Structure 1
Amino acid sequence: MSSPSAQTPASTVLYSERLLPSFWIWVMVLGVSASSILVFVPISMETGIIAAVVVAVILTVLLLLSTPTIRVTPDTLQVGKAEIERVHIGSVEGFRGDDATYQRGRGLNATSYMCIRGWISPVVKIEITDPADRTPYWLTSTRHPEDLVRALNS
């Protein structure tokens, strides 16, 4: 029997990542917000500036609320709103570059669970071995595929 200090608590987070939008997405938010000034400038410059601020706040809140999280604990894997026990995880592979593009495109199984963000190129493919689940694998974007693969294989 192992000592309690040698056991990993189920609540311990082995890996965590928020798939936040990249820099160029935030530049686009600023551009869209700034362009809203042009719509309201015929009314008044103050109205245009207020509209730009409101648009920027709304877009920022929407982007942040829709940002998924990847979280690995000793017992579970959570990707976005989906969660699975780790006993149902088979092989795990990380992909970058052309291999990641292939996994997101021609190599994609339409019945897989996907949490893909266009501004994050690398992906990790996580095989699902649960016989009650018809999903063959999960495919998720991640900025650190090697770290996620290492956490899931530990």
Structure 2
Amino acid sequence: MQPSASPYEERLTAPRSWWLICALVGVAMALVLLPFGTLPLLGGLVGGTAASAVLASSYGSVRIRVVGGALIAGEAKIPVSALGDAEILDPEEARAWRTYKADTRAFMLLRAYIPRALRIPVTDPADPTPYLYLSTREPERLSAALETARTTA
């Protein structure tokens, strides 16, 4: 097995049930176009399925990486030296931090279909962001990768 170029990388892919919904959107589009004939029906089936699949895929294409002494989460990139100790959130605590405990200044990379998360305080005094909230399927691995990157930086 080859070593990874990054100590941690995760893609927050959409759940399988969303792909079934994409097929159902295609069927719905086909039914809407049914009165216009067979060819529009097939176009609606293919076009509706494809359009909804593109949307589901783009929403689930966001990645979280720890590489080169930096945490890259979606569009955000922050050096691990500017981060505090990560807090692993169970599903109940994660829901609380994305609702009534949330700070509007926080960077939140959340996906509702991922129940667990990691909350990482930002220790840089020049950064107005109090913490990062990252939905992740493997918060223990991400926390360990951040700690490893911090000690080797």
Structure 1 and Structure 2 fold alike (TM over 0.5): yes
Identity %: 31
Which of 14, 19, 41 is 2:12 aligned to? Answer: 19
For residue 53 of structure 1, what is the amino acid of its counterpart?
V
Instruction: Check conservation: 1:111, 1:136, Cα contact below 8 A.
Output: yes
Q: Deviations over 1:84-121 (max 9, x none)?
A: 01110111011122111111112111110011111111
* CA distance in structure 2 between the aligned counterparts of 1:39 and 1:81, rounded to whole angstroms: 38
SS in 2 for 1:90: coil
User: Which stretches of structure 1, 4 residues or longer, exceed 6 Å deviation after superposition?
Assistant: none
List gaps (5 residues or longer) in structure 2: 149-153
How many equivalent pairs are there? 144
Instruction: Check conservation: 1:74, 1:86, Cα contact below 8 A.
Output: no
Instruction: Check conservation: 1:14, 1:74, Cα contact below 8 A.
Output: no
- Aligned twin of 1:63: 56
TM-score (norm 1): 0.87
List gaps (5 residues or longer) in structure 1: 1-10
- Aligned twin of 2:106: 112
Which of 19, 29, 35 is 2:28 aligned to? Answer: 35
- Aligned twin of 1:8: none
TM-score (norm 2): 0.88
For residue 135 of structure 1, what is the amino acid of its counterpart?
T
Residues 112-131 of structure 1 mapped to structure 2, 5 A cutoff: 112-131=106-125
Q: Deviations over 1:65-88 (max 9, x none)?
A: 332100002410000011001110
* CA distance in structure 2 between the aligned counterparts of 1:92 and 1:26, rounded to whole angstroms: 33
Instruction: Check conservation: 1:89, 1:128, Cα contact below 8 A.
Output: yes
Task: Single out whichever of 54-63 and 141-150 deviates more from structure 2.
Answer: 54-63
